[in-house]
Chain A
């Protein structure tokens, strides 16, 4: 059994999805926590400081490379799996089993993932590319340090209603992707104990709702001027 055989088998491909998926979940924890600093409502002092800390230090920068590799692996493997799985039926049914046996979002992970991908492209162009490679408004922190003013960038972007709507739609895709993905990843990773599966189910629901709602409220808060 070579490693290649392991990771190209049907279960092996799912293991890749689960490991990369769980890594992306861990990233989301960091991302949503840092961004939540905007609600200190201090003109972005703490948020800019935290974002700058991640942008400047070696460890987060190395992790960022890993994150991108895992994201690409997740996307490519996800789309390959989706295409393979779709090709297994042949002649389709006249009447669909539908929601009687499963939830619509558990059957739509490929679609939800593709929506997420489209959103991610927009999102990276909006924030990540300017902050890494572009020209950014600068600001001075309390300790006198010059940093990128990501906060003001958010303020500017989220003045426009249609951008806010795209972000909220992105968060809805994330919500449903995670509602299934969180639970599915652990089951793929071999959890079979009922006691843990129930725990994972509920932790998954809670996590998906908190994270997606948290992200969605950020553009909304700027748009309605709840944070200044």
Chain B
């Protein structure tokens, strides 16, 4: 792929804290290499802002290799930007052309309040996991990995669901700000395995209760989440989650 440099106009959401109202600010960036990542382009802009004695733009990031789920920008109307199955940190500037205007917004959901600029508080996801996204095992010697047989198909499906990095793009993409794709990935990941089966009923109920408490919307099966998910988590997991929830609640003793 041919290398080129570009000049861009950025419209970025600036917001001092969760209390104050935010607004868009326009910035020009020059000589951006097509080989840079989107976050590196922001680094260049922030260096410039700092030398001009201005407040740099706050954005979330950690691994910068598409595995931690920290980076979160809604770029030109799509979570994680224009590429399919991709995170912002892995979005490269060759996705854009010289002279483009790029609009960057934070995830928008009441359950994900803005902390500053493009950084939102996603601890609601942590609390959903704490409610039931685990298995209870006694400590002691590690059990032999092959002691419990798992069929290949379930293992593969579970693994595919476990690929969820908890980025929240599904919530950002959904018109209902629903977290169902995230929760379905976690529930499917564990309920497909024998290790996750003992707690499957209490888990799904506890996680959905917490999800509702955090103020996420209900799922209307539009499938917008699947199209935005960097890890291609399938919406069939949501069907599985609904099934798990119904089985758990309809067969509960009291």
A130 to B239, CA, bound (A): 43
> With A90-B109, A107-B222, A109-B220 as given contacts, are A1 and B249 in contact (CB-CB < 8 Å)?
yes
By a CB distance below 8 angstroms, the chain A residues around B228 are 97, 101
Establish whether residues A91 and B22, one from each chain, have CB atoms under 8 Å apart when the complex forms.
yes
User: Are the C-beta atoms of A92 and B108 separated by less than 8 Å?
Assistant: yes
- The answer to whether the Cβ of A180 comes within 8 Å of any Cβ in the partner chain is yes
The yes or no answer to A47 lying at the interface (CB within 8 A) is no
A169–B237 CA distance with the chains assembled, in angstroms: 36
A11 to chain B, nearest CB (A): 5
Closest chain-B Cβ to A16's Cβ sits at a distance in Å of 11
Enumerate chain B residues within 8 angstroms of A88, measured Cβ to Cβ. Answer: 109-111, 176-178, 215-217
A101 touches B224 (CB 8 A): yes
Residues 25-55 of A contacting B (Cβ, < 8 Å): none
Which of B78, B176, B244, B254 gathers the greatest number of chain A CB atoms within 10 Å? B176
Interface size class, chain B: 35 or more
Nearest CB on B from A90, distance (A): 4
Partner of B221, one of A81, A93, A98, A183: A183
Q: Residue A155 at the B interface, CB < 8 A?
A: no
CB <8 Å contact, A9 and B227: no
- Contact at B246–A190, with CB atoms within 8 Å? yes
| Bound-complex Cα distance A97 to B229 (A) | 13
Nearest-CB residue, chain A, relative to B227: A101
Q: Is B252 an interface residue (CB 8 A)?
A: yes
B76 touches A95 (CB 8 A): yes
Given contacts A15-B246, A92-B108, contact A101 B219 (CB under 8 A): no
A193 and B242 CA atoms in complex are apart in Å by 12
Greatest chain A CB density within 10 A among B211, B220, B242 is at: B220
A11 and B245 in contact, given A85-B176, A92-B108, A192-B236 (Cβ under 8 angstroms): yes
Contact: B211 with A100, CB < 8 Å?
A: no
Q: Is B54 an interface residue (CB 8 A)?
A: no
Across-interface contacts of B178 in A (CB, < 8 A) = 10, 85, 88
Give A104's nearest chain B residue, CB to CB.
B222
**CB within 8 Å for A102 and B223 given contacts A85-B218, A89-B110, A90-B109:** yes
Q: Which of A9, A93, A187, A191 contacts B77 (CB 8 A)?
A: A93
Q: Is the CB of B218 within 8 A of A10?
A: yes
Residue among A6, A89, A109 with the highest chain B CB neighbour number at 10 A: A89
A81 to B173, CA, bound (A): 18
Q: Are B242 and A188 in contact (CB under 8 A)?
A: yes
- In the complex, the chain B residue whose C-beta lies closest to that of A96 is B77
Closest residue of A by beta carbon distance from B216: A88
How far does the alpha carbon of A109 sit from the alpha carbon of B221 in the complex, in Å?
Answer: 11
Besides A1-B252, A95-B103, A107-B220, 18 more A-B contacts (Cβ < 8 Å) are: A10-B211, A10-B217, A11-B218, A11-B241, A11-B242, A84-B218, A86-B176, A87-B110, A88-B176, A88-B216, A91-B22, A93-B108, A97-B78, A101-B173, A101-B225, A109-B220, A192-B238, A197-B239
Give 8 nearest A-B pairs by CB, closest first. Answer: A192-B239, A190-B243, A95-B77, A101-B224, A101-B227, A85-B176, A10-B218, A88-B177
Interface residues in chain A, defined as those with a beta carbon under 8 Å from any beta carbon in chain B: 1, 6, 9-15, 81, 84-98, 100-103, 106-107, 109, 180, 183-184, 187-194, 197
